[in-house]
A and B are shown apart, each in its own frame.
Chain A
Amino acid sequence: MYFRTWQRLSSVVLGLVLAPAAMADWGLNMPQGITEVSQSIFELHMLIFWICVWIGVVVFGVMFYSIFKHRKSKGAVASKFHESLGLEILWTAVPTVILIAMAVPATSVLIEMYDTKNSDVDIKITGHQWKWQYDYLGEDVGFFSNLTTTEDEIYNRTDKGENYLEEVDYNVVVPTGQKVRFLITSNDVIHSWWVPEIAVKKDAIPGYINESWTIIPEGQEGIYRGKCTELCGVNHGFMPIVLEAVTSDEYQVWLEEQRAGKIAEAQAALGEFSYDELMVKGADVYARSCAACHGNEGQGLGSVFPALAGSSMALNDMAGHIDIVLNGKPGSAMQSFSAQLSDVDIAAVITFERNAWGNDTGETVTPKMIIDAKK
């Protein structure tokens, strides 16, 4: 009888010991992650966790024993003892020793996390309401990264995709086997950049630059998804991060493609675009960059975000319309999009806004008009 109990008890204990990694798969535990730092943190987390579990077992064990045995209904008679200096010293000293034992590994992991020197790649990350911007220092590569999950999915009009709320238009690409340093700041309010699998989280503070770093080992190429972790306004839950780790060689190729893409974009802006091409592209840009505030149907949101459908600016004031998209409106949440969107995209989205939802101005805004407006 006792053997059976021991058997059961040990398999439970063994299971608990072996389970942590499995538990992460069931969504019960922190991921171990793919870097040395993330694994050190995971081990520290499990160490503290088990110490707490064992302290709990002992303390609650005594407590439950007492609840069971020392009840009036079982005839227990209350003792009178009510103090013991020895015990007080003991249960002050023992926790102190345990805490010091915890503090030692915690200190060394923290020191490791703060060591940002000797990076191979430097990426400046800027948090915006409500998207991330990435600039690769010294590489002439920079872009914005927006959530691509659609309003229809969010508002339950269509089925949700597999990476619901965790997908973006442009991933932040990093090479494996190299030290990547992140320089994190914000354009407006405080945001926070977090990718759990590499255990990097740092607040993005306007006016200040924070730094963090990671080394993703070779062999850990893949996609890792993260989130904004500081309340930053209405779409705080809708500005994820997708980190794509590739080999060093693939990274160099990607950098080249980005640079070529920029040149191609600038050249394309000088080309001819038909009204229909601009409307199709404009609808796509609108869904990605504008709909979150101005609404799927251009209806806006009360007095917070103005409606575009039927607005006097969209119907009459083309110069003003171009200006506000390029330069934003200071003192409001309307940002400048001149750095975020290409000239072609801006021309397309303004064309779209002036013709969709019954606005029907019949006007076409060309990329050349945008280039001129910027001068």
Chain B
Amino acid sequence: MTTATANHDDHGHHGPAKGIMRWVLTTNHKDIGTMYLWFSFAMLLTGGVMALIVRAELFQPGMQLIRPEFYNQMTTMHGLIMVFGAIMPAFVGLANWMVPLMIGAPDMALPRMNNWSFWILPFAFGMLLFTLFTEAGAPNFGWTFYAPLSTTYAPSSVTYFIFGVHMMGISSIMGAINIIVTILNLRAPGMTLMKMPLFVWTWFITAYLLVAVMPVLAGVVTMMLMDIHYGTAFFDAAGGGDPVLFQHVFWFFGHPEVYIMILPAFGIVSQIIPTFARKPLFGYASMVYATSSIAFLSFIVWAHHMFTVGLPLQTELFFMYATMLIAIPTGVKVFNWVSTMFRGSMTFETPMLFALAFVVLFTIGGFSGLMLAIAPADFQYHDTYFVVAHFHYVLVPGALFGIIAGVYYWLPKWTGHYYNENLGKFHFWMSFIGVNITFFPMHFIGLAGMPRRIPDYALQFADFNAIATVGAFIFGFSQLIFLFLLIKTIRGGEKATDQVWEGAEGLEWTIPSPAPYHTFAEPPHVK
């Protein structure tokens, strides 16, 4: 499908700069991708430590380790860091590395803005994390920061929280603009939209979602800022405002946000399964349409997060029906992945293991999502651990496994070395076992009546909480295997070929491994 005109970097003086300034000033998509990925891994471990503190406290009923006020800071920061610091930047990192390579472009369309997009993040998160060490403490109102808990009743760190959200929102918006412009303008000749790899498609659609909803998040935190400091009453009934308005505006952002966090993973899995099944992706066009439908539908379902708020009957019915509809394109994607595998010739290297686990476990998360969509039943699920189980299934063995699968898949291209396959498989199995021991019992305790965001619980919830905590520690520490493997692979290992994987197809596999600093200075021709 492609003819390669691989470019080797034979101008020595155009190689990367030396020392720390290389990283501060780089406009190279590979360098920036690398920085995003390391940043997101650091955030994953930071948010992970917070999760382990939470789980350690929940190991037994009673307060053993921390006080409730600190507990609320841990749950809030865990959510904020994982959503905005780990998952989203990791996907941006993968996009930075792979989108130009996949479309045969020399770099992103706006390389200097790309640098800026990255460097905002350490500052934003540094500020957010710094609040943990202030007297007032970090934000403690949940990552969903409902008013008036997050306005009238918030600690003083809420202002830093708002600035941090603004900063990382700007980073996301700039990154998304960059991706759209790159994809629209820098595709190699012959690469029509319907020839683009699915990872590029899913990121293309995700980028539009980001441009549409990140500004709404910026709006809602600005309204909060104004309520807190400038005497307005957007969310304060005393001045004529409405706390429920907060929820509407927040979730108008919040629901597309969760699709922002999963669509790129769909793309990654759609690259990996065909490679290791040695068979083309089943239903390419259908996959594109399904992803687009999911993106459109994501704008009209937001109030399914608000079923117990006192919405009128017709409103609840509308949002229930619209939410149930999303199951259809999502199901179509799962069927297409299975059909890709069917009558393939599969091998089970680590990327494929993570991708297959994604398909199964994300689908389980999808099932609990469908149950949650049923509004009358949701009155018993809402704000319990059943919801926690649902979103952790779609985000951890969903989005995170997708990211990890992508890293294993592309690591030999980035570093020039195959990673150690046994170590990779070990990491996979420990993660798979750990993630299920942690989150499956949460379905049970949620159904049995345990609410979210509580530091202590009634005695009947003790056993499953203990099991979940054990699973969490297994899963958490397993990520150190990954860290070890990454460093080991960067430093050395069996030399990787250009194609790396037997069934791999696409422009990114036509260049050497490791990928040269500059690639596709001349665009390749795509048939």
- B116: Cβ under 8 A from any A Cβ: no
Task: Decide yes or no whether A272 CB sits under 8 A from chain B.
Answer: no
Does residue B286 face the partner (Cβ distance < 8 Å to A)? yes
The verdict on A206 contacting B459 (CB below 8 Å), with A27-B445, A41-B377, A71-B347 known, is: no
Selecting from B37-45, B82-90, B323-331, B429-437, the interface stretch reads B323-331
Residues on B with C-beta less than 8 A from A66 are 338, 341-344, 346
A77 close to chain B: CB less than 8 A: yes
Give the residues from 4 to 38 in chain A that come closer than 8 angstroms, CB to CB, to chain B: 24, 27-31
Name 11 interchain pairs, CB-CB below 8 A, sorted by A: A27-B463, A66-B343, A70-B344, A91-B332, A102-B374, A110-B320, A190-B243, A225-B458, A229-B382, A233-B153, A238-B68
| Cross-chain contact of A73 among B135, B146, B339, B347 (Cβ < 8 A) | B347
Q: Which 9 A-B residue pairs are closest in the complex by CB-CB distance?
A: A207-B237, A237-B454, A210-B310, A52-B367, A82-B280, A229-B383, A78-B345, A109-B376, A79-B343
Interface status of B3 (Cβ within 8 A of chain A):
no
Interface size class on chain B is: 35 or more
Task: Answer whether A27 and B461 are a contact pair too, CB < 8 Å, given A63-B359, A231-B141, A237-B68.
Answer: yes
**Shortest Cβ distance from residue B346 to the other chain A in the assembled complex, whole angstroms:** 5
A201 and B332 alpha carbons, distance in the complex (Å): 34
Contact check, A110 vs B451: say whether CB atoms are below 8 A apart: no
Contacts of A31 in B (CB 8 A): 448-449
B285 nearest CB neighbor, chain A only: A83
Contacting pair A237 B237 (CB below 8 A)? no
Chain A 299-331 residues near chain B, CB threshold 8 A: 301-304
- State whether A92 and B343 are in contact (beta carbons under 8 Å apart), knowing that A44-B377, A208-B244 are contacts in the complex: no
- In Å, the complex CA distance between A154 and B285 comes to 57
CB of A83 within 8 A of CB of B284, answer yes
Among B61, B279, B324, B383, point to the contact of A230 (Cβ < 8 A): B383
Among A159-167, A338-346, A360-368, the stretch in contact with B: A159-167
Q: Are B237 and A206 in contact (CB under 8 A)?
A: yes
Question: For the complex, what is the distance from the CA of A192 to the CA of B378, rounded to whole Å?
Answer: 14
> Which of under 10, 10 to 19, 20 to 34, or 35 or more describes the interface residues of A?
35 or more
Known: A160-B62, A208-B244, A236-B453. A190 touches B149 (CB 8 A): yes
* Interface residues of B, Cβ cutoff 8 Å to A: 61-64, 67-69, 72, 135, 140-142, 146, 148-149, 152-153, 237-238, 242-244, 277-286, 308-310, 313, 316-317, 320-321, 324-325, 327-328, 331-332, 334-335, 338-348, 356, 359-360, 363-364, 367, 370-371, 374-377, 379-380, 382-384, 444-445, 447-449, 451-461, 463-464
Task: List 7 additional contacts besides A95-B327, A237-B456; criterion CB under 8 Å.
Answer: A30-B448, A60-B363, A70-B341, A72-B278, A91-B331, A164-B459, A304-B69
* A45 in complex: contacting residue of B146, B310, B345, B371, CB < 8 Å: B371
* A201: min CB distance to chain B, Å: 5
Q: Is the CB of A303 within 8 A of B238?
A: no
Give the interface of A toward B (CB within 8 A). 24, 27-31, 40-41, 44-45, 48-49, 52, 55-56, 59-60, 62-63, 66-67, 70-73, 76-84, 87-88, 91-92, 95-96, 99, 102-103, 106-107, 109-111, 113-114, 153-156, 160, 162-166, 188-190, 192, 194, 196, 199-203, 205-208, 210-211, 225, 227-238, 301-304, 333
Q: Chain B residues with Cβ under 8 A from A102's Cβ?
A: 324, 374
Contact of B63 with A56 in the complex, beta carbons under 8 Å: no
Complex Cα distance A339/B451, Å?
Answer: 29
Minimum CB–CB distance for A306 against chain B, Å: 14
CB distance from A112 to the nearest CB of B (A): 8
Q: Say yes or no: B309 contacts A231, CB within 8 Å.
A: no
How far apart are B238's CB and chain A's nearest CB, in angstroms?
A: 7
Chain A residues whose C-beta falls within 8 Å of the C-beta of B348 in the assembled complex: 71
Please give, as numbers and ranges, the residues of chain B lying within 8 Å of A234 by CB-CB distance: 68-69, 72, 140
Instruction: Check if B379 sits within 8 Å of A203, measured CB to CB.
Output: no
Q: Which residues of B contact A59 (CB under 8 A)?
A: 334-335, 338, 363
Residue of A nearest to B502 (CB): A72
- CB-CB < 8 A to B341: which residues of A? 63, 66-67, 70
Q: How far is the CB of B480 from chain A (nearest CB, A)?
A: 29
Known: A82-B281, A110-B316. A206 touches B148 (CB 8 A): yes
Contacts of B324 in A (CB 8 A): 99, 102-103
| Contact A227 B61, beta carbon cutoff 8 Å | no
Which of B146, B284, B463 is in CB contact (< 8 Å) with A82?
B284
Select the residue from B278, B376, B444 with max chain A CB neighbours within 10 A: B376
- Taken together as a complex, chains A and B put the C-alpha atoms of A164 and B509 apart, in Å, by 60
| Nearest CB on B from A63, distance (A) | 5
User: A208–B310 Cα gap in the complex (Å)?
Assistant: 10
Given contacts A106-B374, A160-B459, contact A29 B279 (CB under 8 A): no
**A189 contacts which chain B residues (CB < 8 A)?**
148-149, 152-153
Q: Which of B281, B282, B308 touches A201 (beta carbons < 8 Å)? A: B308
In angstroms, Cα B367 to Cα A202, docked, is 25
| Bound form: Cα–Cα A238–B72 in Å | 13
Q: Given contacts A72-B347, A189-B153, are A52 and B279 in contact (CB under 8 A)?
A: no
Q: Which of A72, A162, A231 has the most CB of B within 10 A?
A: A231
- A70/B283 contact (C-beta < 8 A), A45-B377, A92-B332, A229-B451 known: no
Determine if B364 and A56 form an interchain contact, defined as CB atoms under 8 angstroms apart: yes
Check B308–A202 contact: CB distance below 8 A. yes
Bound Cα distance from A142 to B140, whole angstroms: 32
Among B317, B363, B445, the residue within 8 A (CB) of A56 is: B363
Contacts of B243 in A (CB 8 A): 190, 205-208
Whether A30 lies near B371 (C-beta < 8 A) is no
Question: Residue of B at shortest CB range from A333?
Answer: B153
- Contact assessment for B371 and A48 in the assembled complex, using a CB-CB cutoff below 8 Å: yes
Distance of A67 Cα from B347 Cα, bound (Å): 9
Residues of B within 8 A of A83 (CB): 282-286
Name, among A73, A114, A210, A333, the residue most crowded by chain B CB atoms within 10 Å (CB to CB): A114
Other-chain residue from A73, A165, A203 in contact with B458 (beta carbon distance below 8 A): A165
Residue from B72, B332, B379 whose CB has the most chain A CB atoms within 10 Å:
B379
For residue B281, which residues in chain A have a CB less than 8 angstroms away from its CB?
A: 82
- Nearest A residue (CB) for B449: A196
CB-CB under 8 A for A199 and B320, given A83-B285, A88-B286, A235-B68: no
A274 to chain B, nearest CB (A): 37
In the bound complex, what is the Cα–Cα distance between A23 and B284 (angstroms)? 43
* Cβ A106 vs Cβ B453 within 8 A: no
What CA separation (Å) do A59 and B347 show in the bound complex?
A: 20
Residues of B near A154 (CB, < 8 A) are 62-63, 456
Chain A residues with CB under 8 A of B464: 27
A41 touches B345 (CB 8 A): no
Q: Which of B72, B238, B339, B363 has the most CB of A within 10 A?
A: B339
User: A188 CA to B153 CA in the complex, in Å?
Assistant: 9
Name the residue of chain B whose CB is nearest to the CB of A225: B458
Chain B CB within 10 Å — which of A71, A154, A208, A236 has the most? A236
Find chain B residues with CB under 8 A from A200 CB.
379
Query: With a CB–CB cut-off of 8 A, which chain A residues contact B345?
Result: 70-72, 76-78
Bound form: Cα–Cα A337–B321 in Å:
46
**A80-B280 contact in complex given A155-B63, A230-B383, C-beta closer than 8 Å:** yes
Q: Which residues of A contact B367 (CB under 8 A)?
A: 52, 55-56
Kindly report which residue of chain A lies nearest to residue B359, judged by CB atoms. A63
Q: Closest approach, in angstroms, between the C-beta of B386 and any C-beta of chain A?
A: 9
- A79/B279 in contact, CB under 8 A: yes
Q: How far is the CA of A335 from the CA of B68 in the complex (A)?
A: 20
Tell me if A88 and B283 are in contact (CB < 8 A). yes
Q: Which residues of A contact B332 (CB under 8 A)?
A: 88, 91-92
B456 in contact with A78 (CB, 8 Å): no
